[in-house]
Amino acid sequence: MRALHVHHVKDSLSQDFNGLIDLSDLAGSQRAQSDTIFLTRALAARAVQRFTGCALDEAAAAVTDGFHDNGIDALAIDEENRRIVIVQSKLDSSGNSGLSQADALKIRNGCSDLFNMKFDRFSPALQARRTEIAAALSDAAVTFIVVVATTGRSALPAEAQYVFDDFLTEANENDPVVTLEVLGLREFHSMVVEGTAGPRIELAVPIEQWGKVDLPYQAYYGLVQATEIASWFEQHGDRLFSQNLRKSLGNTEVNEGLTHTLLTQGENFWYFNNGITALCESVKKTPRGGSTHAYGDFTIEGVSVVNGAQTVASIHRAAKKDKKPLEEARVWVRFISLEGCPPDFATNVTRATNTQNSVESRDFVALDQQQERIRRDMLLSLHKQYSVKRGESVPTASDGCTVEDAIVALACAHNNPYYTVLAKSAVGRLSENTERAPYTNLFNNGTSAHRVWRCVQVMRAVETDLADRRKKLVDREFAVAAHGNRIVLQLVFNQLRMDKINDANYDWDKEIKQIHKVTGIALDHLTEAIESTYSNNYLAPLFKNTTKCRDLVTQVEAKLGSG
């Protein structure tokens, strides 16, 4: 039966990707194997299609398989969801083989080289996309899905699993930015039968304090344990959001905040979160729980989360870190049945639940009296605009700045690597509570308009200088200048006359004129320190690690102080 299922998968790949897969690089003896190579590359393209939902030609264009491919057979950049899909494909005609340890090590090494932008180690097909891939890798919020695509068994042999376990532990030291997905014969055959979206989703959901609405359309609502929701994403991934306007957006500021709340205040999560809305084909209550509304078991068929994708993904991310706090967390969930609903009802619900105005941290910051004082002083003392409230016009670079600019600049000027790391990885944490640190250490009675404006000037000058330098840098040096921009900014601040920053009579332009020289020195020393101490570290997670960033700052400042 397995061999027959492999045959079905091969037929589907041939039918869909014929004429789309590039085989122009084949030479000599490889031409005799062109059918096998075509199917292997088509399998990689199918995996890309499964995780991005892209068209056949786009999936085929993502294939990077070739001589010296370094274990990466396809790479797709999902810009909307800020993630990169990396695929290794293995065609097994028997349907019985498992991934070898050697293949697992090859994938791991290839990913390591990719994360460190060592493009010369990859196939010409991947190198041709160097600029596009480097730009995606430079996004501090980008996440990765590493996909093993095989027509063999879905379960990895123990020796291969050990390799991936070690790899994921290392890559996810600070945040779960890399996930592993295995698509085996079972999954690929399901795609042939059900389509690339996979079979419809059915959930068995225990709901506490549940209620029901019968008219005009049926819906059930109540509280669901966070660990239960984490299991939904663990099993079904982004397929949960098939009808949503967007999938999980990865490690955004809002999602980082959700994860932090779950891990630190799980018992209060229900009070802080808007909940989840899901459409479904049908909802049925099982006999368990009887007639009481305190608890009930429900079977939900044809489920799609249309609002709350970020909540679901953030719960899953928190569960990867520590499941214990999630046991106390409850989430408000609505299941709306589409039985008997008009044809456009699902679309209308999806649109309505995703277009309501949300309240952001900036809205709460605007209530702080310190912000109004700074806004007034900026206008009177410097004739500059300071935009605090959403909806206000954003001033041009020469006319002023926003409170978001100020938060990042002041954090990096504070000379605390912890604040600098937050400015890079979770800037919302700097202002989530205006009554305590770190916010009160940035904005207080001593925060003058001159300090805010001059810090923003330095930040902008450093960003411009680093952008110019990146045009001439490649590979790992480019990555340091991209991912390490906030640490560089802190190091630059430390070399300026910060004791004069509040002095209205001091000629701050003298400091700005030093930015190019000081930035270059700081970047060179930072790169040297990384290569000396953390040469095997992936750079994006490295700059989210407070301990390592503190060590790097100490090393660089020691060199700067010695001459």
The whole-number average pLDDT for the span 253-275 is 76
Tens digits of residue pLDDT in 178-235: 888 888 888 888 878 766 555 678 888 999 999 988 889 889 999 999 999 988 888 7
Give Cα 26 to chain centroid, integer Å. 36
Cα distance between residue 46 and residue 24, in whole Å: 20
> When comparing pLDDT for 27 and 51, which is higher?
51
CA angle 73, 77, 83 (to 5 degrees): 110
Q: Is the pLDDT of residue 114 over 50?
A: yes
Cα distance between residue 267 and residue 269, in whole Å: 6
Residue 98 near residue 185 (C-beta atoms within 8 A): no
Q: Is the pLDDT of residue 323 over 90?
A: no
Which pLDDT belongs to residue 444?
A: 94
Which pLDDT belongs to residue 246?
A: 47
pLDDT above 90 covers a percentage of the chain that reads: 42
The whole-number average pLDDT for the span 554-559 is 92
Cα distance between residue 137 and residue 90, in whole Å: 26
Tens digits of residue pLDDT in 296-309: 889 988 888 888 88
Give Cα 280 to chain centroid, integer Å. 27
Which pLDDT belongs to residue 245?
A: 45
Tens digits of residue pLDDT in 474-515: 888 888 998 999 999 999 999 999 999 999 999 999 999 999
Which pLDDT belongs to residue 392?
A: 76
Residue 424 near residue 463 (C-beta atoms within 8 A): no
